[in-house]
Amino acid sequence: MRKDVPLSIQTIFSVREIQAEADRLRSAGKRIGVVPTMGYLHEGHLSLIRRAKELADVVITTIFVNPTQFSVGEDFESYPRDLDADNLRAGEAGADVVFCPDRREMYPEGYLTYVEVETVTSILEGAFRPTHFRGVTTVVAKLFGLTKPHVAVFGQKDAQQAFVVRKMVSDLNMDVEIHVEPTVREPDGLAMSSRNVYLNRAERTAAASLYAALIFAEKQIQDGERSVEKLSGEMKKMISDAGATAIDYIACVEPDTFTPVEAIHPPRILILLAVRFGATRLIDNISVTFS
Ligand code: AMP
C-alpha cells in the first residue's frame, strides 16, 4: 500500500471482516452507502462516491473485477487494475472503507448460487453478453449482503445495469435505496470508462463520435423526429464514418420499462448504443425529455 493513502481510509480484503465492519457501523446507528465498482477509478466513479457521501454517514467503495460478469473471450484478464491509486482516489473522494476481495473470497470452491433477473437481461447488452447481467446481479446481491447498505449509488452510464439492479432490489424486497447518477464525460463528450485506456490515439478520437451521435439524436427529437429507424440510421452513419469497427446496437427504449420502441413518444426516451473501436467495446446512452 502506498504511504500517501489517507490514514482514515480502511482497506478490507475479507468477507468476514467487511461483515463485521458493516455490523459495527449499523450498531453505531450509521447510515451506510455503498458504491460497487470494478476499480481503476476515474471521475465517473468518484462522482458516485461523493454522492454517496451526501446520502450516507459512511461510504464503502467495493473494488472487485467480477469474473462472473465476463464471458469467455472477454477482457477479464486484461481489465485494468491499480489498487494503490484506487485507494488514494476513493479516500480523497470521501470513501471511508474500500472493500477489495479476491476471487476466492467472493466465489470460494464449490460456489453454486446465482441471482437472475429475467427478460430485460436478454436484450441489448444481454443479447451480446448473455451471462453478463446474471454475474452483475449475483455480485451486487452478494455485495449488499456483505456491506449491509442503506443506500447504493450506480451510474447512468450503465443504464441497463442500473435498471436491472433496481428490478432485482424491488423483486427481492431488498431494503436498499438505489440512486442513479449522471454520466461524467471527457471534454469532447466521451463517457469516462476504465476501458478507455485500451483505445489507441485514432480510436480515442473516433470514440468522440458516440456522444456526438447521441447529442445529434437528441436535437433531432427536439426538432420533431419520431422515427427510430431514421434516427439510428443517421447515428450509424456518423459513427461508422468516424471509424468504428462494429456497431453492436443503437436502440431506443421506454425508460420506465426498458421496452424497445420503434416510434418515439413523449415525455421521455432513452437512446442506447454499444460500439467497437478496434478491440474495445464502449457503451453510452442519453435520456431525452421532450413534449
Ligand atoms: P465499473 O467500475 O465500470 O463497473 O462501474 C462502477 C460504477 O460506476 C457503475 O455504477 C457505473 O455505471 C459507474 N460509472 C462508470 N462510468 C461512469 C461515468 N463515466 N459516469 C458516471 N458513472 C460511471
Q: Each residue of 54-83: pLDDT tens digit?
A: 999 999 999 999 999 999 999 999 999 999
What is the 237 CA–ligand 1 centroid distance (Å)?
27
Task: Note the residue count of the chain.
Answer: 291
Q: Is the pLDDT of residue 8 over 90?
A: no
10-181 to CATH, choices 3.40.50.620, 3.40.1280.10, 3.40.140.10, 1.10.1240.10: 3.40.50.620
Is residue 50 over pLDDT 60?
yes
Residue percentage of the chain with pLDDT more than 70: 98
Q: Is 65 exposed, middle or buried (0-12, 13-18, 19+ CB in 10 A)?
A: buried
3 has pLDDT over 70: no
Instruction: Please state the domain extents for the chain.
Output: 10-181, 194-286
Residues 121, 126, 132: CA angle, nearest 5 degrees: 90
For residue 3, the Cα-to-chain-centroid distance in whole angstroms is 30
- Could you give the CA distance from residue 64 to residue 100 in angstroms, rounded to a whole number? 6
* Interval 115-137 mean pLDDT: 98
193 lines ligand 1 (CB under 6 A): yes
Place of cell 457503451: 283
Ligand 1 atom, smallest distance to 38 CA: 2
Give the Cα separation of 174 and 165 in Å (integer): 11
Task: Express each pLDDT in 136-158 by its tens digit.
Answer: 999 999 999 999 999 999 999 99
| Buried-state track 223-257, b at ≥16 Cβ within 10 A, e below 16 | eeebebeebbebbbebbeebebeebbbbbbbebee
> Does the CB atom of residue 154 touch ligand 1 within 6 A?
yes
Local confidence band at 7 (pLDDT 50, 70, 90 cut-offs): low
Ligand 1 atom closest to Cα of 45?
A: 8
Q: 285 CB under 6 A from ligand 1?
A: no
What digits encode the pLDDT tens for the residues 241-269?
999 999 999 999 999 999 999 999 999 99
Which atom in ligand 1 lies closest to the alpha carbon of residue 180?
A: 10
Omega cis (within 30) before 260: no
Could you list the beta-strand ranges (E) of 46-165. 58-63, 97-99, 151-155
Residue having the nearest C-alpha atom to atom 22 of ligand 1: 155
Mean pLDDT of the chain: 96
Q: What is the mean pLDDT of residues 78-97?
A: 97
Q: Cα torsion at 123, 181, 270, 134 (round to 10°)?
A: 0
46 CA from centroid of ligand 1 (Å): 9
Domain 194-286, CATH 3.30.300.30 — does that match? no
Q: What is the pLDDT of residue 83?
A: 96
